[in-house]
Amino acid sequence: MISDRDIIEKLQDLVQVDIDAVHAYGQAIEKIDIVSVREQVIRFQEDHQRHISDLSAVIRRLGGEPPKFSKDFKGFLLEGFTAVRSITGTEGALKALKSGEDFTNKRYSDARSWSLPMDILSIIQSNYEDEQRHLHYVEQAINDRVWETAGVTR
């Protein structure tokens, strides 16, 4: 079985990914001008915040220090998410989120195979299912080209 110290390090990495995701969602939300999409994406951002608090509680229980919530991207989510800054509109925001979600899905998918106590694995599995839901929604919205549909509210 993996040592507590190793578990703490792995969970700290995951929390950093979720912190970056919260920032990325924050930037995307500002660029999404379709109310229903924005509301959905706000809920996804709340999921990432919950991941941070749940995993931080585990880290503390194991005697570790959870990462502090930084004001900026720390670079744990590269490429797509950081590119949110340079794009405009709902289309660009969704495409940037898609690329970020690919990354968070991969990280959580990998984490499911870590040799961890069951209670921690079940949190990771639940977070992974959130990530799957986020990715499917974003992919569907891109496929549907929601930015071309009527009812845009600015």
Binding site for Fe ion (CB under 5 A): 104, 131, 134
| Residue number, 60 or 112, with CB nearest to Fe ion | 112
Give the Cα separation of 28 and 26 in Å (integer).
5
| Residue number, 24 or 116, with CB nearest to Fe ion | 24
The least CB distance from residue 4 to Fe ion, in Å, is 27
The least CB distance from residue 23 to Fe ion, in Å, is 12
Closest to 28 measured CA to CA, from 16, 43, 17: 43
The least CB distance from residue 101 to Fe ion, in Å, is 5
Q: Which residue is nearest to Fe ion (CB)?
A: 134
| Residue number, 60 or 125, with CB nearest to Fe ion | 125
The least CB distance from residue 132 to Fe ion, in Å, is 9
Give the Cα separation of 73 and 81 in Å (integer).
9
The least CB distance from residue 145 to Fe ion, in Å, is 21
| Residue number, 6 or 129, with CB nearest to Fe ion | 129
Burial of residue 39, with CB atoms counted within 10 A of its CB: 0-12 exposed, 13-18 middle, 19 or more buried: exposed
| Residue number, 20 or 131, with CB nearest to Fe ion | 131
| CA-CA-CA-CA torsion sign (83, 86, 89, 91) | negative
Q: According to DSSP H, which parts of the chain are helical?
A: 4-31, 35-61, 89-111, 118-143
DSSP 112: T
Give the Cα separation of 76 and 106 in Å (integer).
13
